[in-house]
Chains A and B, each alone.
Chain A
């Protein structure tokens, strides 16, 4: 493979067990300096666990970690950071209430009572922000930034600590295409400076386009480690099919099926939105006179740069925010003023864009989470006698249908890997055909096979008469799943594309406000 001189990270014979699950099973990993080393595998294959071990979040049960040939044993991320290892997790670790600057200083405060190094940090941050093209108000609360900006702040945090080894867990899962490209340009810049990047991803195209080497994990074991290309400029030596086959294993299902687009079932819209307006708050764009219709049998996609009004649209449709103007009809019924509970009762189902924030209750069991939001529908008993047996049975059906890897239906939800948690959240909304599905990034953090399963389930629901609205930052997802795609830009629905016009380039241009269509 490589000479030991240029090997910066060597993980040897790493084992890590969580209860009954062997998350990492005798894993070996070598990473050469100045490369982008991709780690791929299905949900629950052990990728995040391995990276968390490298970053000091967990100690391995057995095995050793070497950095520049020296054995290290990080008991916390701050120890890892001191040694130059930094990680940007799937769920960003910024504290929303603190300002950007305060977040940057966090962890580098120095002695307890020393003065905060505000000025120095600010000066260096200014410089580094230029490098990574971050434009942000240093005094704004971090929670007000868009996802892309938050990610850059996280990167900036690592650069301030001069991290030489950068770990990214699903960095592009929520980035719009333009930002994702900029992100990879940044990664190449980092490797050019001699930094080393570990990239956990589900997107095989990213691996083929950008990685130098790839390690495939399956069920906690390394099934392959191979070079992707000889030199940074060279063409890839492996293809997506080979990688996908390695990821799923011999008996696994390959996600190569084309989804059939739906037909409208009936000519009366299931959802009609007219002139919907939500005032902008902080960096959120709000909504400006958004109007559209979704018919039964149809999947309507919503594209746009993060922060263009997607969250406001979902909140307004679910009744979590009341619009300043405009009306929302479900079939022929005006639901503009209905509560979330009433909408749920009328058959509206919701897949929350951030499962930790609003999709699930981590402390609860899988079964209790499976019932969340459906608990008033009568399927789990009456108001005065909820049946846990029925919740469990329902959870078991979700587990079976969506191939959730869970120790048991009454296992704690937090014991599931991120992707499997997402499957429960999705499954809950789709086990029975919804009248209207509101889905925020339904496949966030899912591997290819699971993504396909979710797409199929959404399609199936629509064939049985549901209407669906899907917000996603993954253009490929929108293109393959949706019949029509509406593009939000600065709170306006600038266009709705379908048929011939439903192309990457067209949507990409609309997303950044380059073209303005007539539809609105």
Chain B
């Protein structure tokens, strides 16, 4: 085990590098980079009301980052978090509007569970295909993403469509299913606390339970794990189901905490952002907390930056930073393995 601060060194360095690349891109696009970066920081952290909004942005990223990290630790590259998130979101939205008569915390809890369960099933299917038939999870999870996109689209345009609206969306969830707001005057809900609790529980499970030990063993050397009595196939589908459940929770918390309904294409790709979060967080649940905050704040700040810079720096600049981070960290991981 390296000292904690040394584990931070690489991600921090790579992130700094990514910001420099972003500054260069901003300069090339014709905006002065330093004021743009200042505006970015302001919008992310220091402007009034910026911090809660950054935390709001970070919440789904934390869930999806954890989902990807669990998979990677078990040796499974779950690219299907996006699909698991969509399915979980729709399931929780349905419980939110269709199940009536439950008291407030119970209704919300049931809706969250439904999200986790359906997301979990969506992850378990590729898991079981891998464990039993050897189908590669990268292929099957991408396929499951398409299934989820079109299935949810069909359901919100045909079956569970809000009759009072033209848009493809479900009816609004009953207030009993809403997640309570954390602080007056913000959009920040207890969803953030659920995400943080998930990170803590996950960290404990991975580090301190037999199941987590076996999961990491399978991820690091499946053959050695098998010889040590670990049922590898069970770990594979179990980790994929857990990963999917966390992805489903991401969708559920977005629906119950922010939008209070499911509408088509509500996710700007949170599931894929999770890959960058997991990588920057070094596959560590607590690292994912930091990484999710960084990316969430960046997304939030970029909106502000776009509105104040002349010429406007498009907020999609965050994807540049994300791409550079993935690029470098993935390269480093590969280097460490061969070197």
Contacts and interface: CB of A to CB of B under 8 A. Distances in A.
A385 B213 CA distance: 11
Given A365-B1, A385-B208, A386-B213, A357 B230 contact: no
B210 A361 contact: no
B226 interface: yes
A359 B208 contact: no
B223 A357 contact: yes
Contact of B223 (A318, A345, A358): A358
Interface in A491-510: none
Contacts of B228: 340, 344, 372-373, 375
* Size bracket, chain A contacts: 20 to 34
Interface string A6-44: 000000000000000000000000000000000000000
Given A383-B210, A383-B211, A361 B226 contact: no
A435 B226 CA distance: 20
B209 A386 contact: yes
Contacts of B227: 318, 320, 340, 350, 352, 358-359, 373
B61 interface: no
B104 interface: no
A133 interface: no
A375 B213 contact: yes
Contact of B226 (A320, A363, A371, A383): A320
Interface in B194-211: 208-211
A432 to B, nearest CB: 16
A68 interface: no
A358 B223 CA distance: 5
Contacts of A340: 226-229
Interface in B212-258: 213-214, 216-217, 220-221, 223-231
Contact of A339 (B220, B223, B231): B231
A350 B1 CA distance: 27
Contact of B220 (A352, A364, A371, A410): A364
Interface in A377-394: 383-386
A352 B226 CA distance: 11
Contacts of A343: 229
Nearest to B217: A361
A360 interface: yes
A384 B229 contact: no
Given A383-B211, A386-B209, A386-B213, A341 B223 contact: no
A161 interface: no
B226 A385 contact: no
A372 B226 contact: no
A386 B224 contact: no
Contacts of A352: 224, 227
A364 B216 CA distance: 10
A455 interface: no
B111 to A, nearest CB: 28
A341 B221 contact: no
A361 B221 contact: yes
A383 B210 CA distance: 5
A346 B72 CA distance: 32
Contacts of B209: 383-386
Nearest to B209: A384
A376 interface: yes
Contact of B224 (A341, A360, A385): A360
A384 B207 CA distance: 10
A362 interface: yes
Contacts of A385: 208-209
Contacts of A344: 228-229
Contacts of B1: 365, 410
A373 to B, nearest CB: 4
A445 B210 CA distance: 31
B210 A375 contact: yes
B37 to A, nearest CB: 37
Given A339-B229, A344-B229, A372-B228, 17 more contacts: A339-B231, A341-B230, A341-B231, A344-B228, A352-B224, A358-B223, A361-B220, A363-B220, A364-B216, A368-B213, A372-B224, A375-B213, A384-B209, A386-B208, A386-B209, A386-B213, A410-B1
Chain A to chain B: the 5 pairs with minimum beta-carbon distance, closest first: A341-B229, A373-B228, A358-B227, A383-B210, A340-B229
20 contacts: A320-B226, A339-B229, A339-B231, A340-B227, A340-B229, A341-B229, A341-B230, A341-B231, A344-B229, A345-B229, A352-B224, A358-B227, A359-B224, A363-B220, A364-B220, A371-B213, A372-B224, A373-B228, A384-B208, A384-B209
